[in-house]
Amino acid sequence: MYPGFLVLVAFAVTMLVWNGALSFTSFPGFGQAKWVGVKNYNSLLDNPDFWESLLHSTFYIIPMALIPTALAVFGAVAIFDAFRGRLARSFFPWVRGAFYLPQVIPIAIAGTIWGWMLSRDGLLNQILRGLGAVNPTTNWLATPISALVSVSLFMVWLQFGFSFVIFLAGLSRLDPATVEAASLDGANWWQRFCFIALPSLRPEVIVVLIITAIAGFKVFAPVVYLTMGGPRGSTASVSSFAIDSFFGGGSIGRGSAATTLLAIAIGVVAVVIAVLFVRVTRRDGGLSGDGS
């Protein structure tokens, strides 16, 4: 394990250092790289498109992390509470497989399907026609607001299954006798959720939020395969902005500067989430929620 881990770390660190070095150069992708200092960073800070993409990347933490995590916690606890015992052992594998399916489907295929569903003659407009809507011919990916909402819904659908499976697995260590005793004492579902299930899931919530928040901040594939960052950059992320700089703008240095700033921001987001949850768990008496 250790040799493979060391190779992975060495590769990641090497690429990070190399990318950081390129961010201080003017390099079109061929020929000699020219040292330009912080010119690329100054160019980014003066570029409104970069700030817009950074705003979008920050916003994408909501549909990639916060909403799926909240929905998955409620969903996992509801399923766990409704199906316990022998039925759970036969039912849970099917539930996990069904909800995890979006993670298995290649993102290019999923993006193509969603693109058709949201197109002018797609499934959504067909459903609206069936419900009696008057001539629904909207291309939901053609206007800035509807495109941003559509991409956000796509991310929620994509990410929910991952969080759900993690939380359902975390609930497996919950003692059914504790839940049963709480029910016999008159605790309703909401009380069992707040004081038994949710505290037991704190370790999973921390891990899931860190992973999905990072995924949201550096999101690339869902944006590219659904909208290509359009229309007019209204859904572009920092990652898609960097790729456009790499290949579309012919500026490796500017793209490297964008990804370097993104890496720093990701580190800050991860540290902030970890510190906040460590403080919460210490205040409440530990990760297990039982005061031990």
pLDDT digit string (tens) for the chain, length 292 residues: 577 778 877 777 888 888 888 888 887 767 777 888 888 899 888 889 889 999 999 999 999 999 999 999 998 888 887 776 555 566 667 777 888 888 888 998 999 999 999 888 888 888 887 777 666 667 888 888 999 999 999 999 999 999 999 998 888 887 777 777 887 777 788 888 888 888 888 888 888 988 898 888 889 999 999 988 888 888 999 888 888 877 766 678 888 888 888 888 888 877 887 787 777 667 665 544 444 3
How far is it, in rounded angstroms, from Cα 120 to Cα 138? 5
What one-character-per-residue DSSP string does 95-133 give?
HHHHHHHHHHS-HHHHHHHHHHHTSTTSHHHHHHHHTT-
Sign, Cα dihedral of 152, 155, 161, 163: negative
Reported for 139-148, long-range contacts at CB under 8 A and 24+ positions apart, including other chains, are: 141/115, 141/226, 141/227, 141/230, 141/231, 142/231, 143/231, 144/231, 144/232, 144/234, 144/235, 145/234, 147/227, 147/230, 147/231, 147/234, 147/235, 148/56, 148/59, 148/234, 148/235
- CA distances to 7, 45, 92, 146, 239 from 21, rounded to whole Å, are 21, 18, 49, 39, 18
Pick the CATH number of 38-284 from 1.10.3720.10, 1.10.1060.10, 3.30.70.380, 3.90.1150.10: 1.10.3720.10
Buried b vs exposed e over 179-199: b needs ≥16 C-beta within 10 Å? beebeeeebeeeebbeebbbb
How far is it, in rounded angstroms, from Cα 127 to Cα 132? 9
**Burial zone of 233 (CB within 10 Å; 0-12 exposed, 13-18 middle, 19+ buried):** middle
Partners of 25 in the beta sheet?
35
Here the tokens at position 145 are: 């607001």
How far is it, in rounded angstroms, from Cα 288 to Cα 226? 40
- CA distances to 72, 150, 165, 192, 253 from 78, rounded to whole Å, are 10, 27, 13, 11, 50
Partners of 26 in the beta sheet?
34
DSSP 26: E
What is the structure's pLDDT at 127?
Answer: 84
CA 71 to chain CA centroid, Å, is 13
How are beta strands 34-35 and 25-26 bridged, if at all?
A: antiparallel
How far is it, in rounded angstroms, from Cα 59 to Cα 225? 18
What is the structure's pLDDT at 285?
Answer: 57
